[in-house]
Structure 1
Amino acid sequence: MIKKDILHILGKEVALGESAQVSFNVAKLHTQNTIDVPVIIERSKKPGPIVLITAGIHGDEVNGVEIVRQIISKGINKPKRGTIICIPVINVFGFIHMDREFPDGRDLNRMFPGIRGGSLASRVAFKLVTEILPHADLVLDFHTGGADRFNAAQVRIIKGEKTLNELAKVFGAPFIFYSKNLKKSFRNTCHKLGIPILLFEGGKSFNIDNTVTNTGVNGVKRVLHHLEMLNRKFKVSNPKKSCIYIKDSKWVRAKYSGMFKATVSINSEVKKGDDIGNITDPYGSFNHFVKAPNDGYIFNINESPIIYQGDAIFHISTKFES
């Protein structure tokens, strides 16, 4: 979709060929200091699609922020045609405090599309949906695993969307995970508005992993190249391995509390009955081996050394194809 020559966004006019940084401001701190969320806009002189690249919906998901930071610092966000809008940290409140939620205790990714006069998180969601999202032809949204659960680099999409399937394959993450849109999530709101969105998951909270970061940055370059937006100075590499499509999956949960160690690495293909981890106690009197419940790929591992009975320790595919 070709947009008008002038982009009217957050009270600013940005013409073709211009760069701009505008502030996405919703509320002040209790000290009356303003908190500005920078929105970085790069427009080519040549019209074309508008791609919105976001991260930091959860304040503790630093790896996603690092991916968008690198896209900006390397100049990947300066398109050959069209427009790229980057918001590296949406939940800047949580990012400052290294907290997943907003100061009001709410999860921003369960507050969309938001309410103009609602809670702080709801107001931020509302402003994002009404003042930024309508400009986008495509959204690339970056997340990481929660707590100590390390996610393999993956793109999450819903089944049956031809455009998303094509773009996810172009992105080239090791896994394409078919998952339903959660109610009141950013992804679900984009879907309802008819805006394609690729949700990238990789790594874990409070952590920056080079492999995950490189996968995210390279994926963005491939998508921009596919859209004929990537600047000629950047090279595009093919993924080292073909994508695995995960059609269904299950969590393996701890049968016992204790000290936990995975004995397989992320992305591993395992067979039913394989040893994939063990749970012990501090006294050397107990050792339980965790077995793979089926053939599949391990695409999430709990890296906490201490776990409790019922904790999710592995996410394994149950239906998949390459």
Structure 2
Amino acid sequence: MAINSTLTILGEEVLPGESKTITMEIARLHTMTKLKIPIIVERSKIPGPTILFSAGLHGDEINGIEIVRQTIVRKLNKPKRGTIICIPVINIFGFVNQSREFPDGRDLNRVFPGSKKGSLASRFAYYILEEVIPNVDYCIDFHAGGASRFNAPQIRIVPNNAELKELSDVFNAPFTLYSKHIPGSFRSACDKMGVKMLLFEGGKSLDINHDITHEGIQGIKRFLQHFDMLNPHKKGPVANNDTVYIDKSSWVRARHSGLFQSKIKAGDFVHKGEVIAVITDPFGKFEHKVKAPNGGYIINANDGAIVYQGDAIFHLSQSYQF
């Protein structure tokens, strides 16, 4: 967008220097209750880029919602220059139901670019791309692991993209994973529209973790400071992490069903052959050790107490660099 132009979302204009909360209403519950999605816009009078902080694309990924909420509460979204848009909860339906999906059973992060006359999830995807994204230069979308799987704080970007690599360096999460775009994803759609997106993963669904929230907030501070948008009255970001760049990774899966007892946590480094978990039966008949197939970093760990044969229990890096 033009760096000092009028910003328009859903027919509402926001001038430089203005603050406004724009309500997105696309559909209602079957009870006829309106569900409103607040789009919180803060603009400086000084020209600059427009950054979107979004979360809750999956309604049960609450930790991302908390990161964007704290961004607002701490007034980090009041920029020194440029514009900051915050959407703490995109999938308000899933958030109400503490569910990943929309009421139509669809995963919102698989239906982009959507359709004006399609399914409920498809319509939401359409209006986000039609009304919000054309105004945006950069986006950080916050996610968490699902199904009791805890993600170490990480940024995900496509490989061989120098600009995204630079932005990931700026955010400086403990881990950066190179991963290709998934068809139908928000990240893929934004890329096609020229918006530079970082996807943050951290924590697990239906959970708020202080350390994950802290990493997200500090990354936001560094990101805003990079563009000279960080409010000068706010405390600067903490010292940078030693980021680990992961080129290749694989899932370690359970070979047996049973009670699951992990010996390590997400973010740990493990050595080849190290016992990283034990799977037992409830009757004292067997005890199977799970050993690391290679040395590397645990970037996702299953927190469940019970696993079934074939369940993903650890996401382990195979190739990494500093």
The two structures have a TM-score, normalised by structure 1, of 0.98
Give the C-alpha shift of residue 4 in structure 1: 3.8
Matches of 1:218 and 1:172 in 2, distance apart? 9
1:258 paired residue number: 258
1:275 paired residue number: 275
C-alpha RMSD of the superposition: 1.0
DSSP 3-state at the match of 1:27: coil
8 Å CA contact 1:250, 1:315 repeated in 2: yes
How many residues were matched structurally?
322
Q: 1:239 to 1:183 in 2, by over 3 A?
A: farther
* Deviation per residue, 1:184-227 (Å, 9 max, x gap): 00000011112100000000000000000000011011000001
Letter in 1 for 2:111: M
Letter in 2 for 1:26: I
8 Å CA contact 1:43, 1:79 repeated in 2: yes
1:306 paired residue number: 306
DSSP 3-state at the match of 2:215: helix
Matches of 1:243 and 1:16 in 2, distance apart? 36
Deviates more, 1:9-18 or 1:28-37: 28-37
Matches of 1:311 and 1:239 in 2, distance apart? 37
Matches of 1:2 and 1:214 in 2, distance apart? 33
The two structures have a TM-score, normalised by structure 2, of 0.98
Matches of 1:238 and 1:221 in 2, distance apart? 9
DSSP 3-state at the match of 2:93: helix
Give the C-alpha shift of residue 239 in structure 1: 4.4
8 Å CA contact 1:142, 1:200 repeated in 2: yes
1:167 paired residue number: 167
Give the C-alpha shift of residue 178 in structure 1: 0.3
1:133-282 equivalence runs, <5 A? 133-239=133-239, 241-282=241-282
Say whether 1:7 aligns with 2:7. yes
Give the C-alpha shift of residue 240 in structure 1: 5.4
* Deviation per residue, 1:100-148 (Å, 9 max, x gap): 1001010000010000000000000000001100100001100000110
Matches of 1:239 and 1:181 in 2, distance apart? 30
1:287 paired residue number: 287
Give the C-alpha shift of residue 235 in structure 1: 2.3
Matches of 2:76 and 2:39 in 1, distance apart? 15
Matches of 2:64 and 2:200 in 1, distance apart? 8
Matches of 2:184 and 2:87 in 1, distance apart? 20
1:18-167 equivalence runs, <5 A? 18-167=18-167
DSSP 3-state at the match of 1:316: strand
Matches of 1:239 and 1:255 in 2, distance apart? 41
Letter in 1 for 2:202: G
Q: 1:121 to 1:173 in 2, by over 3 A?
A: same
Letter in 2 for 1:156: R
Give the C-alpha shift of residue 270 in structure 1: 1.1
Matches of 1:240 and 1:192 in 2, distance apart? 31
Which runs of at least 4 in structure 1 moved beyond 4 Å after TM superposition? none
Matches of 1:218 and 1:78 in 2, distance apart? 16
Matches of 1:8 and 1:183 in 2, distance apart? 28
DSSP 3-state at the match of 1:32: coil
Matches of 1:200 and 1:187 in 2, distance apart? 11
Unaligned runs of 5+ in 2: none
